[in-house]
Each structure stands twice: as C-alpha cells, then as structure tokens.
Amino acid sequence: MEKKSLVKLSLLVLLVCGAAAAIPALRSPPEPVLDRALRAQTIKTLATKLNDHYVFPDKARQMTAALQRFEQEGKYDAVSSGYRLAKQLTADLHGVSKDLHMKVLYQPKLVLPDDDEATPASRAEWEQRTNFLERLMQRRAAAREVKQVGRLGDNIGYVKITSFPDAYLMPETYAATMDELADTEGLIIDLRGNRGGDPLAVVLLVSYFVDGRTRLNDIWERDTGRTVQHYTEEKLDGSRYGGNKPVMILVNRGTGSAGEDFAYTMQALKRATVVGEPTWGGAHPTEMIRLGGHFYAAIPNQRSISPITGSNWEGVGVQPDVAATPDQVFAMAKDLMRRRLRDSGRLVASIHR
C-alpha cells in the first residue's frame, strides 16, 4: 500500500486557499449540496477503509458497527454540509477508538487522484522526482520549522522545533542547527506545540545525540504485517552532539505525534530529561485515504513500539520526568540545567573558557 502524505494534502490546501485570497475578484464556488446518496457512499467507503487499514482490526470492526448503527438510526439524515458530516464522523470514530490521529476531512476546493504519488522512499528518489526550484522551495519551507537556535547564557543551547518535516528535506537544516550548538555544554529542545510529522526525521535528529548505532522505535504496519526496526544514522552532515552532555526537552499538551516520538525515544534512551505537561497522546502513524469526491480519511495504519519499554505513548502521552505548569516550564528547565552543569563541573569549565 502506497503511503500518502497528510502534509502534502495540507500544503495543497494552503496553496489553493492562498491563491484564492490573493485574487479579490475570485469567488469560491458554493459548497456542493450533500445528498443522501453521496452521504451513504462516503460512510460505506469509510467503513471499508477502516476494516482494511486501521491498526487494530477489532477496533475497526467496532467503529464500523457504530457508523452503521448511527446511519440506520438516522443520525446523519439531516446533515447536508460536507464539513458537518466530516466533523460528526470524526467525533463518532473518536467516541469508539479514542485515537486522536483518526480524522475525516472535507476539502471542496481540492480533489486528489486515487493514485496520488507515494511519499518518496529516499532523498535520491525525491531529488529525481523534483526540479531544482521545487527542491529549494520545499527545503526552505521545511527549514522554517526550526524556529529559533541560540544560547540562553552559561553556554546553554536552545532550539525551538515546531514540526518534523519529511526526513529527506531536513539533513542540511539539522546539520546547520547542530553545528551552531555543538560547543554548548547543555541543550534545551523546545517541542511545545510541535505538530508532529515524519518518524524518519525523528530518527535523523535523535542520531545526533548518541555515540553509536542505536535501535530506536520499531514500526509495525497493519497492511503488510511487517515490523521495521529503525536505527540511528551512522553518517551525519553536522556535528554530533554526543551521548554525554545534558539535554532537556520541553513539552506540553500541544506536543503531538512525531514530537512525542522524539521526546519518548530520548526519554526511553535516558538521553534527555522531559519537562512540562503530559503530551497529546498519538503514537500511530497515519495514511491519508481518499473516500471519494471531496472526502478523505486520515487512518492510523501503523504502530510505534519501543524496544526499551515494549509500548508507546498512545492515549496517555509522554509523561514528563519533571512536571511543570506552562508558566513555569521554561524557567524550571533553565534552572535545572544550570544545576546539572554546575554539579558536573561543566558550568565552571564553560565560564573559564
């Protein structure tokens, strides 16, 4: 099964909406009326795709049974808006599965073909598919997800990361970031509000914080039944931070998906201290599937499994090592980092450098 990119869909929607906003004379067409036949077909296709792809088959059967029961009871009969139907279906699926990655989407300005290209399997494949200008634009957009890189004083590094774009877009950005932070004595990584992204980008970034080849999260895929073991990258473009200098990761309830993956993995490896609030709680990588017309479903079809914990953060979030309220987390992390550097002698060394 080809893996279709939710990020790609989101970018296309933004481009379409942005273009419309930039032309005052351009009027959006009226939203198509959602008739009984289209509504029924959307629900039927959604049920089929859930049974075919959802990560837990038994839970998929429970969700489809609930959809069929609600349809028979007439719950959707008065819904004539695609947006409302997508919202209601999402809520009904969440009521059964509690899986926050699960979502039904309605995009009346966009139709992707059923054979939409799979996400490139490698950087070489991406470069082969795209021209120089496209690669430049995509890299620049991805680089903006590393929002801030600098120092907080006492030679403590700081980086703010708002998402994890596709791994093939990030080698240069991560290399430049880690080169800039290489001579710091400790590092605070701010993942508050991180929206998630590509698990392979997480693998790439974690690779900078270990000294040798290290097994990270395994990914089990429902469609194939296979488990893929992920290991850190041995060759990196930037300066390796190494496995000894202290690292702290800031999280909150808005830290989701791949952002949680990074925090959970670093915590399990005992490579970082996580500070803040419990995170969002979504550990199932997702496939974007077209249901027909303007309807799509984000269906979790994979499961992350830590070889260290034997589990993941689905439904519970990453639990911080040091709990902190939103107004305290930053100051608390800085104070804790200074104390650790002072206790290890690193703070004194950096002052005299």
Quote the pLDDT of residue 197: 93
Greater model confidence, 115 or 102? 102
Greater model confidence, 189 or 36? 189
Q: Does residue 111 form part of some domain?
A: no
Residue 326 sits in which domain range? 144-285+301-351
Mean of the pLDDT values across residues 251-268?
A: 97
Model pLDDT for residues 199-245, shown as the tens digit of each residue: 999 999 999 999 999 999 999 999 999 999 999 999 999 999 999 99
Examine the pLDDT at 1 and tell me if it is beyond 60.
Answer: no
Q: Does residue 126 form part of some domain?
A: no
Note the residue count of the chain: 353
Mean of the pLDDT values across residues 77-85?
A: 93
User: Do residue 206 and residue 95 come from a single domain?
Assistant: no
Q: Are 203 and 171 in contact (CB under 8 A)?
A: no
Q: Does residue 117 form part of some domain?
A: no
Quote the pLDDT of residue 95: 95
Quote the pLDDT of residue 11: 39
Q: Does residue 30 form part of some domain?
A: yes
User: Do residue 329 and residue 187 come from a single domain?
Assistant: yes
Q: Does residue 119 form part of some domain?
A: no
Mean of the pLDDT values across residues 253-263?
A: 97
Residue 281 corresponds to which tokens in the numbers above?
A: 């709680």
CB atoms within 10 A of CB 323: 14
Mean of the pLDDT values across residues 282-296?
A: 91
CA 181 to chain centre: 24
User: Do residue 225 and residue 275 come from a single domain?
Assistant: yes
- pLDDT band of residue 26 (cuts 50, 70, 90) is very low
User: Do residue 322 and residue 190 come from a single domain?
Assistant: yes
Query: Of 77, 106, 135, which marks where a domain is finished?
Result: 106
Quote the pLDDT of residue 222: 95
As a whole number of angstroms, the distance between CA 89 and CA 95 comes to: 10
- pLDDT band of residue 133 (cuts 50, 70, 90) is confident
Mean of the pLDDT values across residues 87-95?
A: 97
- pLDDT band of residue 91 (cuts 50, 70, 90) is very high
Q: Does residue 113 form part of some domain?
A: no
pLDDT above 70 covers a percentage of the chain that reads 85
Q: How many domains does the chain have?
A: 2
Model pLDDT for residues 268-280, shown as the tens digit of each residue: 999 999 999 999 9
User: Do residue 164 and residue 261 come from a single domain?
Assistant: yes
Q: Does residue 80 form part of some domain?
A: yes
What 3-state DSSP class applies to 197?
Answer: strand
User: Do residue 168 and residue 278 come from a single domain?
Assistant: yes
Model pLDDT for residues 142-183, shown as the tens digit of each residue: 999 999 999 998 899 999 999 999 999 999 999 999 999 999
Kind of pairing between the strands at 156-161 and 302-305:
unpaired
Quote the pLDDT of residue 10: 43
pTM (two decimals): 0.85
Q: Which CATH number goes with the domain that contains 170?
A: 3.90.226.10
User: Do residue 216 and residue 267 come from a single domain?
Assistant: yes
User: Do residue 64 and residue 213 come from a single domain?
Assistant: no
Question: Rounded to 5 degrees, what are φ and ψ at 147?
Answer: -80, -35
Quote the pLDDT of residue 3: 43
Q: Does residue 120 form part of some domain?
A: no
Examine the pLDDT at 318 and tell me if it is beyond 90.
Answer: yes
User: Do residue 209 and residue 343 come from a single domain?
Assistant: yes
User: Do residue 99 and residue 177 come from a single domain?
Assistant: no
- pLDDT band of residue 113 (cuts 50, 70, 90) is low
As a whole number of angstroms, the distance between CA 147 and CA 272 comes to: 21
User: Do residue 194 and residue 330 come from a single domain?
Assistant: yes
User: Do residue 162 and residue 65 come from a single domain?
Assistant: no
Examine the pLDDT at 309 and tell me if it is beyond 70.
Answer: yes
